[in-house]
Amino acid sequence: MTSTTPVIKNRKARHDYHIEETFEAGLVLYGTEVKSVRQGSVTLRDAHVEFDGNQATVIGINIASYSHRGYSDHHTVRPRKLLLHKKEIKRLARKVLEKGLTIIPLKMYFNDRGYVKVELGLARGKREYDKRQTISKREADREMKRARKEIDRWKS
């Protein structure tokens, strides 16, 4: 991956969900969609994966219209097919049937061969107190880091 290709991240995902497992999948896109992804104009925030038989589709990814398009264009929010093996789809569909589990996109990026890939996470929703706990833990870690930095500065 070169420095010019963006990595689009779903920043709210780790705040709103406990990520239990991550995996990578390909995505079926039109030409103008790929160009928009290369520009970085993608929103993963409200997206999730649904299963229909032997197919997995991601719903809610917003890929903005390509700025230099000609006569053809794509719908910004449409169901997009995920490229997964049949065994993976069946395994994930079984896990989603468990109470409280869902699959959400965490990252979208280009791999070494130039294909758009999506990092998906098998997630369980956090409760409000879990979110507060995560925030307080992060702040405590920050304070510890600052204190260590201060001690190291006084030692040298």
The whole-number pLDDT of residue 122 equals: 93
**Residue 72: pLDDT over 80:** no
Q: Using CA atoms, how far apart are residues 1 and 5, in angstroms rounded to an integer? A: 7
CB neighbours (10 Å) of residue 135? 11
**Concatenated DSSP letters of 48-72:** EEEEETTEEEEE--EEPPPTT--S-
pLDDT higher for 22 or 3? 22
CA contacts within 13 A on the Cβ side of 112: 0
Helix (H, G, I), strand (E, B) or coil at 139: helix
**Token code pair at residue 92:** 């994930």
Burial environment of residue 42 by CB neighbours within 10 A (0 to 12, 13 to 18, 19 or more): buried
**Residue 83: pLDDT over 90:** yes
Q: What is the mean predicted confidence (pLDDT) over 124-135?
A: 80
- Read off the pTM: 0.75
**Residue 18: pLDDT over 90:** no
CATH no., domain 8-125:
2.40.280.10
Which residues are bridge partners to 2 per DSSP?
none
pLDDT tens by residue, 88-128: 999 999 889 877 799 999 999 998 888 999 999 999 888 77
Average predicted confidence (pLDDT) for the chain: 86
Q: What is the mean predicted confidence (pLDDT) over 50-79?
A: 82
Distances in Å between the Cα of 69 and the Cα atoms of 8, 17, 42, 80, 121 are 21, 36, 16, 20, 32
Domain boundaries, given as residue ranges, for the chain: 8-125, 127-156
Q: What is the mean predicted confidence (pLDDT) over 63-69?
A: 79
pLDDT above 90 covers what percent of the chain? 34
The whole-number pLDDT of residue 99 equals: 78
